[in-house]
Every structure is written in C-alpha cells, then in structure tokens.
C-alpha cells in the first residue's frame, strides 16, 4: 500500500492558501520591496548523507529545503527537494535533479564533445567562487581533484553560490474589489564549471510561488582553434575573416520525481488545437490532457506541455497535485550518439521509470542502456510509476563580434511549474481569501461593472 495519508496532506496543502502576515525573508541577500509574507513553512528533516542541507524561506511564506552535493561527472546535484506551503509541513517534490549530458557538435562536422561524460562538471572542473562570482553566501564541500592526476586529494572549496534576490513583480491587480500588488523573491543556487574554453553556470532558481527554473549559462571564450568558412560560421575578425564555427549546446537534465513521496505518479500530455469553428468573437480551441501510461519520448509543438502528477495526493479543491514541464524556448535536436545507436528522431521530453544505472542521457555505461531511447525501449512494457523526466533543451550558437572576449553569459533551460499544488496561491493578499472558483458577492459585482 502506498505511503500517503491523503487527508492529512490535503489539510497541510490547504494551509498553503492562508492569508498574509507581516515578516521579511530570511537568509541570503535581502530582496528589494518584498511583499508581506505569510507564516513560514517548515524545513524538511532530511538525512543528506555526504551532502549538505540548504533551506530558504521565501517572500510568500513558503520554504524550500533540499540536499546538495557535487558529483564528479554531473557537477551540482540537488536531492530530496521539498516545498512547505506557508504554515504547513514540507511536501516532497523531487528526489534528484541534475544535468545528465551536454553534447557540443560543431557545424563543420569536425568536432563533437560529450562534456558531462568526457570531462565532467565536478572535480577539478568545478571552480572555486569568490566575491565577484557570488554576491550571496558561498558554501563549501570536499571536492576530489578528479581529472588532474591527483585523484584522492579532497580540498574543501567554496563552490556553491546561494543568493536570495528580488524576483520582480509577483502580482498586480488594480480592480476595485481588493487592489493588490506585491513583489517576490527568487532563491538561486549556482555553480561554475570550466570545460575546454567554455565556462558553464549550472543554476537552479527556486521561486516564491513554487516554480523551479533550471538553467545552464555559457560564458568563457570561443574556441580559438575552430574557424571555418561562411557556410559554417560567422566572421568575428576584420572584414570577412576569422569565421568562428557555429555549434550547438545540446543539454539534457534528469528529473527524478517524488511528488508526495516515492512512486505512485502518473504523466499526462496537454494539447490544444483549433477546431475550425468560430465563436461570437474568436476561433474555438479545444484542449485537454491524455495519459502517457508507459515510458515514451515526446516532442514539443505549439500549445503542448506535460505534467507529472500524484493522483492520490489532493489539494483542498480535491485536485491532484502536479508539476508542469514548460520548455520555454529550445532548438530541438537529435543527439549524435543516439543517431549512431539507431534513433531516427530526437526528443524534447522523455519519461521512464527510475533505474539507478540510467544516469547519463548518452554514453551511459552498464547494461541498462546507452541512452534515453534505449531506456524507453527497454521499459516500454512497464507502467510509469517512479517517474524520471529527461528534459532536452538545445541552443544553436552562431558566434557574434561582441563575444570576444570573454563571452557575455547566455542561457538555455526550462521551468517546472506547480499546477494545483495548493488550492490558492501561497500569499493570498488581504481581501482575496475567499476567491476560489467562480467569484461571488462583491467580486461578481465588480466583474459585471467591467463587462458594462
């Protein structure tokens, strides 16, 4: 029997819709003009093993808590990620989150690197941070010098940057019933790894509303040895000279979900399509979800997204809690490694069941498959339950004059959005506590005034 007491958790989630009380966010750098916050949630009681516990109270009154560690290949890894709504107990969200491959093929066809499995983001590749690279708290860990010939030495270095920053406007509602405006905080956890001429920023942003933004930033220098012609690059020297080779940054992250606890999860795909019919003022679009019941790959199209849900864990509105995968912007791609292993097409998102030996999106060692297409194929007869999402985000980099030197930091990534995690937003402004479903009373009158 599964591990949940649904009614108790539903009650805890209902508390997440509590109204705001006074207070200011704690830890990190203070955010400018943060909104008043609700009673804070609790920090999860975690056994981080070789990792370290980090937690942060947000402007909404919610509290994030998790463990962090450094893997020699994947670099920064976050585990046991929990989110506590204001005044409520922590709820498990993700078991582990890390990058699982970064493939960089050059348009000339003359160079291909698999940076995670070849070089790695940890060990000697992970950079020690200073005041210029981290304006917040610098956290340290024992980092073995993997890859520099001195394996076994474990200097303690400050490699994780924890920053609480102003996230901008959280909401702005100027209606007559209960005008409200508030700002939010964002909690950024970042590390920097140098691979070749590039330096990569692995960043995970935990927002006050429960959103998780996963980002990979690239800076450093363009390769000084990869120059080509106008068909395969861009001139960055005087006149039509020094065509720096264009290339791709094909990244995949592994998200092992644990919504409400291990196992018992489901996956759905949402699509909305025009019906060809026209209403009184606009075209009619029909949308809905369809289950993805077994391991599968999926591609992004307009008006499509996916969600991982815990059917047995319900919020106060009796909706199953879930997280939505939002790809934001991506140059879709097929891994060179996958193509060479027989995969005809790439994927934007893939779903498998967790397997402790399925770690890297390509060049995975062992007998459980070389990469994601094989993971999907081998598990195709199993119902999805202990869900892992493989999220692929590509960026085709055509160099610019302005990138010499060094390059301005440029980003790629995706977001994980809470969907029905609570019945209302965490930080309900005063006067809006009863707004849940179709508005009534004063709210209905205000709506009718606007219509007229």
Q: Tell me the per-residue pLDDT of 216-259, one tens digit each, with 9 for 90 and over.
A: 999 999 999 999 999 999 999 999 999 999 999 999 999 999 99
Phi, psi dihedrals of residue 223, rounded to the nearest 5°: -60, 125
The predicted structure's pLDDT at residue 438:
81
Higher pLDDT, 190 or 21: 190
Distances 356 to 51, 353, 434 between C-alpha atoms, Å: 18, 10, 45
State the average pLDDT over residues 336-357: 84
For the chain, count helices (H), then strands (E). Answer: 5, 22
Closest C-alpha among 213, 217, 221, 247 to residue 121: 217
pLDDT band for position 95 (50/70/90)?
Answer: very high
Both tokens assigned to 82? 């929990």
**Domain 6-275+282-451 is found in CATH 2.70.98.20:** yes
In percent, how much of the chain has pLDDT > 90? 73
Q: How far apart are CA 284 and CA 280, in angstroms?
A: 9
The predicted structure's pLDDT at residue 145:
81
Peptide bond into 189 cis (omega under 30): no
Which residues make Cβ contacts (< 8 Å) with residue 292, sequence separation at least 6?
A: 267, 268, 269, 298, 306, 351, 384
Kindly tell me if the per-residue pLDDT of 22 is higher than 70: no
The alpha carbon dihedral of 116, 359, 292, 83 has a sign of negative
Kindly tell me if the per-residue pLDDT of 25 is higher than 60: no
The predicted structure's pLDDT at residue 40:
84
Higher pLDDT, 151 or 317: 317
The predicted structure's pLDDT at residue 335:
67
pLDDT in tens, 108-151: 999 999 999 999 999 999 999 999 999 999 999 999 886 555 55
The predicted structure's pLDDT at residue 158:
97
pLDDT band for position 35 (50/70/90)?
Answer: very low
Higher pLDDT, 209 or 278: 209
**H runs (alpha helix) in 30-101:** none
Order of strands, sheet of 212-220, starting from the edge strand that comes earlier in the sequence = 137-142, 156-173, 180-195, 198-207, 212-220, 407-419, 320-326, 304-314, 266-278, 283-291
Which residues make Cβ contacts (< 8 Å) with residue 144, sequence separation at least 6?
A: 72, 123, 151, 152, 153, 154
Q: How far apart are CA 242 and CA 236, in angstroms?
A: 6
- Strand-strand pairing, 304-314 and 320-326: antiparallel
Kindly tell me if the per-residue pLDDT of 14 is higher than 70: no
DSSP codes joined into one string, 214-256: EEEEEEE---TT-EE-TTTEEE-SSSS--EEEPEEEEEEEEEE
The predicted structure's pLDDT at residue 251:
97
Domain boundaries, the chain: 6-275+282-451
Kindly tell me if the per-residue pLDDT of 343 is higher than 50: yes
Which residues make Cβ contacts (< 8 Å) with residue 256, sequence separation at least 6?
A: 94, 95, 96, 97, 354, 386, 387, 388
Q: Does residue 375 sit in helix, strand or coil? A: helix
The predicted structure's pLDDT at residue 445:
65
Q: How far apart are CA 98 and CA 80, in angstroms?
A: 12
State the average pLDDT over residues 16-39: 41
């Amino acid at each position: 029997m599964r591990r949940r007491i649904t009614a108790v958790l539903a009650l805890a989630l209902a508390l997440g819709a509590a109204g705001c009380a006074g207070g200011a966010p704690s830890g990190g750098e203070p955010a400018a003009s943060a909104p008043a916050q609700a009673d804070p949630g609790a920090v999860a009681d975690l056994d981080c093993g070789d990792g370290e516990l980090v937690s942060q109270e947000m402007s909404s009154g919610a509290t994030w808590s998790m463990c962090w560690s450094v893997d020699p290949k994947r670099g920064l890894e976050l585990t046991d990620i929990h989110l506590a709504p204001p005044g409520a107990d922590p709820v498990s969200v993700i078991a582990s989150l890390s990058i699982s491959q970064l493939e960089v093929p050059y348009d000339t066809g003359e160079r291909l690197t698999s940076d995670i499995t070849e070089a790695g983001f940890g060990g000697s590749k992970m950079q020690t941070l200073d005041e210029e690279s981290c304006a917040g708290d610098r956290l340290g860990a024992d980092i073995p010098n993997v890859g520099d010939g001195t394996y076994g030495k474990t200097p303690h270095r400050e490699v994780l940057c924890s920053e609480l920053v102003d996230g901008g406007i959280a909401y702005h509602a100027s209606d007559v019933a209960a005008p409200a405006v508030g700002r939010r905080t964002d909690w950024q956890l970042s590390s920097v790894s140098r691979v070749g001429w590039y330096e990569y920023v692995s960043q995970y942003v935990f927002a006050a509303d429960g959103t998780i933004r996963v980002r990979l930033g690239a800076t450093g220098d363009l390769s000084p040895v990869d120059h080509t012609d106008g068909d395969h690059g861009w001139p960055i020297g005087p006149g039509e000279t020094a065509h720096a080779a264009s290339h791709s940054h094909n990244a995949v992250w592994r998200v092992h979900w644990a919504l409400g606890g291990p196992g018992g999860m489901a996956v759905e795909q949402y699509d909305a399509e025009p019906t060809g019919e026209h209403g009184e003022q606009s075209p009619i679009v029909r949308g809905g979800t369809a289950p993805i019941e077994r391991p599968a790959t999926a591609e992004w199209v307009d008006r499509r997204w996916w969600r991982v849900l815990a059917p047995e864990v319900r919020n106060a509105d009796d909706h199953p809690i879930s997280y939505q995968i939002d790809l934001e912007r991506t140059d879709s791609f097929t891994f060179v490694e996958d193509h060479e292993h027989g995969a005809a097409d790439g994927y934007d998102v893939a779903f498998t069941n967790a397997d402790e030996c399925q770690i890297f999106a390509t060049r995975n060692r062992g007998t459980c498959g070389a990469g994601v297409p094989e993971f999907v194929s081998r598990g195709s007869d199993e119902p999805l339950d202990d869900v892992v999402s493989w999220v692929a985000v590509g960026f085709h980099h055509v160099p610019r004059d302005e990138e010499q030197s060094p390059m301005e930091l440029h980003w790629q990534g995706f977001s994980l959005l809470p969907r029905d995690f609570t019945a209302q937003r965490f930080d309900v402004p005063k006067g809006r506590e009863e707004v849940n479903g179709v508005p009534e009373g004063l709210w209905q009158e205000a709506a009718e005034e606007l219509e007229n």
